[in-house]
Structures are given as structure tokens and as C-alpha cells.
Amino acid sequence: MSSTDAITPVLPEPAERFLAHLLVEKGYSPATLAAYRRDLEQFESFLRRRPAAALTLAAADCLDKRNIRDFVAELHRQGVKKSSMARKLSTLRSLFRFLAAKGLATHNPALRVHNPKQDKPHPRVLNVDQAFALVGDGGKGEGGTEIDEAERVRDVALAELLYGAGLRVSEALGIDLLQLDPNAVAVRVMGKGSKERVAPLGEHARVALKAYLRLRKALDPQGAEKALFLGRRGKRLNRRQANRILEAMAAEAGLPQRISAHVLRHSFATHLLEAGADMRGVQELLGHVRLSTTQRYTHLNLGKIIEIYDKAHPKARLKET
């Protein structure tokens, strides 16, 4: 445990008001609220260990840019990822902006503190053959008990949704039984920020879902459990279980890398773009608010870029005479 996390302080009332605002007025998810709370608790703990007296979020106007920079410097010494530092800074900017709007602060000390320059490694992706091997094999051999078979077809259906529709794992696991029509060409899912969107269901996904629905009862749904995807105890499958399933499927398919739900989502976007799909269309399919987010999913090599340019741009080639 790092020194910054050694103390988990009770947040002062202004910070609690901010979190209540995110819950009630912004409709943030429990996971997002928990992340905001951890960021604020970490900063409050940092302030209370400062040599100066009375440094706390309860007295926001006593804080300045130097306090925020010192916090970032400590995060850097602890080896915190730059993306995590940027998120914590975003949390603080949002907090102080809220406090100013409510008349609880006169300035935003985090406003002029720049995010650390981000490393931008390409996300891991599968090639098309690997993606087909993963989904086609299903991670478990045929045979076994009815429960084993139900789990096998469930795993294939889940992988088909993650790769075939580009869903976030939270979107796939959040689908309820009654909202799914396996004969339909799309399914409504709840994305980030409680924003609903429509995701496509390809033929392979529909076939896989129908096979799973025929065997879902073998997983012994508990009580009035409405989740589409169930674990062995009959409750909604969780994120950790889903990633373990995908890792087992990858091992069974002989893939050389660890697989997560996000790898399949990256692969979905990359394969569409490599096939010439429009960037903004892929943005809609992924449910991204900003196009710049979609652009991070691209893995087009130079040869593919030139190929697309040659086929599409009117000035790419000289006309034959």
C-alpha cells in the first residue's frame, strides 16, 4: 500500500455534495462514482499529510496550483500510470468547478495543471484468423454434463457479442433476458454515462444466442434473476468471471496472448477499419462521444492506408491514356 493510500479519510461535506451531484443529477454508474470517491480520498489523505496546517478539501479556497502539482509529483514518485494521473486531475477539476458553481469556492486550482504527457501504445488486438479461432472453438470441448454444455454455448455467445458487436463487457453483462430478441438484428445496451445505444447482432451472434437460450435454464437461474448471462450459481456473470472465460477460450484455441473483453472490442473496431469502414460509423458502433477516442482503436499499417487511399481518392492515380 502506498503512503498516499495509507489513510482513508472521511471526505468533507463539500466533496460528498459533489459525489451526490454526480449520482443524482449526472446519473453516473456505481463503478464511476467509486473511482471518483477513491480519487478524492487519495487527494484528501495527501493534503492532511502536508506540513502546512488546515489543508483539506473542506477549505477549498486555501488550495492553490502548487498543491495540485505536489500531488501529481507524489503520484509520479509512486509509479502511478500517466492515464491514472490524468483521471485524478480530471476528478479534481470537476470537483472545484462544481464547488465554484455552488459558491463554495472562488477558483479552480487544478485548472491550469496540465495532464502528464500520455504514452499511446497500441491496444492489443487479434487478427481475423485468431478471432475466428477463439469464437469458433468456444474454449471448452464438446460433451460433459448439461451444465458444461450450457457454459460452453454461453461462452461462445458472450464472445460473439464482444467481438461481433463491439460491446463493452459491462454492456454485454448488463443485458437482461427480456430485452433480447435473438431474431432481431440489433440489441439495445446501456453504455457509459447511462447512455443507451443500439448494437448490431450478426448472424453468428444470433445463432450463438439462440443456442445459449435453449440451455440457459441448466445454469439454474436464482429467484427472479433477469440477467442474460449467468454464472454457475445462477447469478449475473461478473466482469472477472467473463475475463477468465475469455482467457480459457484463448488457451484452448492456442492463442499466444492473454485475452480480455477489451481486446475483442479493439479487434472489432480494428477489423472494421481495416476493411474500409468509415471512422464515424465505427464511432457510432462503439458508442464513443469523441472521434479521437475511436482513433486510438486503429491499427492500420502504412500499406493498408495507401491501399485505401489508392482506391478512394480521385487524385491518387494518374489516369490511363
Catalytic center residues: 168, 192, 262, 265, 288, 297
List Cβ neighbours of 254 (8 Å cut-off, separation of 6 or more). 133
* SS3 readout for the chain: CCCCCCCCCCCCHHHHHHHHHHHHCCCCCHHHHHHHHHHHHHHHHHHHCCCCCCCCHHHHHHCCHHHHHHHHHHHHHCCCCHHHHHHHHHHHHHHHHHHHHCCCCCCCCCCCCCCCCCCCCCCCCCCHHHHHHHHHHCCCCCCCCHHHHHHHHHHHHHHHHHHHCCCCHHHHHCCEHHHCCCCCCEEEEECHHHCEEEEECCHHHHHHHHHHHHHHHHHCCCCCCCECCECCCCCECCHHHHHHHHHHHHHHCCCCCCCCHHHHHHHHHHHHHHCCCCHHHHHHHHCCCCHHHHHCCCCCCHHHHHHHHHHHCCCCCCCCC
**Amino acid identity at 40:** L
C-alpha cell at 99: 464547488
